[in-house]
Amino acid sequence: MSLLLAESLDVRHGLLRAVRDVTLEVREGETLALVGANGAGKTTLLRALAGAHTPARGRIVFGGEDITAMPAHQRVRAGIALVPEGRRLFPGLTVEENLLVAGAARRRGPWSVDTVIDAFPILGPLRNRRASTLSGGEQYATAIGRALMTNPKLLFLDEVSLGLAPVAIDGVYASLRTLIAGGATTVIVEQDLARAMSVATRIACMLEGRLVLEGEPRALSRDEITKAYFGLRRAKRKGLEA
């Protein structure tokens, strides 16, 4: 069942057309990995879907409702949560306080401070630590927890492994697997193909603002994805082409 649908989406940064005619569906209960090199348009697309960037053309439908003109804070209340690149925590607040900040926009649901800490055990001993003192992996776990506090129907995770040490990435992905096993609908923006393919039920690859390859990991070879990722050939799959 389709939860979110973007149709013929164009997104610009001034004169730069960062996202070009993208049509993308997110199905309920799936984990979609959005991959591509730096500058491919992944983050811009995610921000447009979350309401942080206004599309120049196209429409976005969420749960059957056209939300193209809906502001970001209303999308949070509708059930969309974004963990942005760079985490963007409040550095002077504790882990628990950062989680509670999201409470004002929360929907009814299972996520609370205690259930977030159960899902991310790394945060238990850090509950009263200021965010500014946390490692990158601890900050990212806190940022995911803050997003979960809104009880989202759809969770966007931007640049999951960017700037993190391998051991921290392992910890974040272990927690993500727990969320995914629980049925969470997630879209992950990731540059690490191996990590993306390890959790995704579907892969979508972007190149120069366009969606150039899409399919289930088991139906796509790593070679196909790598070639689409770097634009080494014109890739066709499910009616999409570069």
Average pLDDT, the chain: 90
Q: What is the largest CA-CA distance in the chain?
A: 51
User: Tokens 């989406």 correspond to what residue?
Assistant: 9
pLDDT digits (tens, 9 = 90+) for 101-139: 887 667 888 899 999 998 888 999 999 999 999 998 899
CATH number (domain holding residue 233): 3.40.50.300
Nearest to 53 by CA among 156, 153, 149: 156
Q: Which residues pair with 10 in a beta bridge?
A: 57
Token pair belonging to 183: 């049925």
Band (237; pLDDT cuts 50, 70, 90): very low
Task: Give the count of alpha carbons within 13 A of 215, CB side only.
Answer: 18
Task: Name the domain count of the chain.
Answer: 1
pLDDT digits (tens, 9 = 90+) for 15-46: 899 999 999 999 999 999 999 988 999 999 99
The whole domain housing 224 covers 2-241
Residue-level pLDDT at 105: 65
pTM for the whole structure: 0.89
**How many of the other CB atoms lie within 10 Å of CB of 44?**
23
